Amino acid sequence: MIILDGKTLKEKIIKNLKMKIEQKKIKPGLAVILVGDNPASQIYVKNKVLTAEKIGYLSKKIILSENTSKEKLVEAIKKLNKDSQIHGILIQLPLPSHLKPYEKEINNLIDPKKDVDCFHPENMGRFFLEKKNHDDILAPCTPKGIIRILKEYDIEIAGKKAVVIGRSNIVGKPVALMLCNEEATVTIAHSQTKNLEKITREADILIVAVGKPLFVKKEMVKRGSVVVDVGINRLPNGKVVGDVDFENVKDKCLAISPVPGGIGPMTVASLMENLLIAYNHQLT
């Protein structure tokens, strides 16, 4: 059984990015906006900023209080859109409850050229229209990281049956498209899917993004399959686990991604790659 080690691959990607920007006079600049004090978001933001600094990017962390008004947040985005030192902007989600109804509207205010999350309809549209996965266009970070790690471990995708559990705009839908571009036959399953186990047991590649701790058990996976766990859940005892019951499932797999240390670091690595892509688009 192979462990898909995202932590190590992230380090390799960082090293490569560091080399690519070493000679550049103007450094790529990343701005991360965090509204409120969600503890998980605080950790993710810290991680993104530290990784950016490790590469040698310029980084800017903008922390706004929990009760920040929509107007104040809009103002912060507009300022960053105009800031020539900043090439990538991301707003850490989730937003506090009073801003949730405006999430889409707020994200759409980010200059598409600086949209390193690839949430803007213009970037999502461009991404959707590609027939192959390219390294030089912005793509959603988690799906991009998943394809990258499968390739790193020489996991065959073409002709395989892939099942994605989850249909979010950030993970489920775009990863299904990317797998399809890699010539897999893809099924998207979700909360209303009947007979889920029958479908997942046919998967050569199973991508799990449901947000339910330890949801996938060994009865749900095919022997010799590749299982990719996108979940990050904190149990009441403080332990962080994925959507897959790793210990229960691992011996049935050809390869499996752990949590932590699997897709989480790959998402950050992809964000760092997206920043260089956005920078190159803006400076050339």
Secondary structure of residue 227 in the 3-state scheme: strand
85 annotated active-site: no
DSSP 244: B
In the list 51, 59, 68, 92, the residue contacting ligand GUN (rule: CB under 6 A) is 92
Which run of H or E residues covers position 249? helix 246-249
**Window 1 to 30, contacts with ligand GUN (CB under 6 A):** none
Q: Which of 111, 117, 204, 229 is catalytic?
A: 117
92 annotated active-site: yes
Name the β-bridge partners of 62: 33
Nearer to ligand GUN, 31 or 170 (CB): 170
CB of 277 to ligand GUN, least distance (A): 16
In the list 111, 115, 117, 243, the residue contacting ligand GUN (rule: CB under 6 A) is 117
**Cβ atoms 256, 4 nearer than 8 A:** yes
CB of 25 to ligand GUN, least distance (A): 29
91 binds ligand GUN (CB under 6 A): yes
117 annotated active-site: yes
61: phi then psi, degrees, rounded to nearest 5:
-110, 125
124 binds ligand GUN (CB under 6 A): no
Range in contact with ligand GUN (rule: CB under 6 A) among 52-60, 86-94, 156-164, 205-213: 86-94
Task: Report CA Rg, the chain.
Answer: 19
Q: Which of 92, 111, 114, 222 is catalytic?
A: 92
CB of 27 to ligand GUN, least distance (A): 21
Residue corresponding to tokens 């893809």: 186
170 binds ligand GUN (CB under 6 A): yes
**Cβ atoms 1, 256 nearer than 8 A:** yes
Which run of H or E residues covers position 206? strand 205-208
Count of residues that interact with ligand GUN, criterion CB under 6 A: 9
Query: How distant, in Å, are the alpha carbons of 44, 63, 96 from that of 32?
Result: 10, 8, 16
Name the β-bridge partners of 256: 3, 227
Query: How distant, in Å, are the alpha carbons of 32, 49, 76, 83 from that of 66?
Result: 16, 20, 15, 24
Task: Enter the tokens of residue 184.
Answer: 């897999």
CB of 113 to ligand GUN, least distance (A): 17
Range in contact with ligand GUN (rule: CB under 6 A) among 70-78, 90-98, 184-192, 203-211: 90-98
In the list 21, 64, 74, 93, the residue contacting ligand GUN (rule: CB under 6 A) is 93
Active site residues per annotation: 48, 92, 117
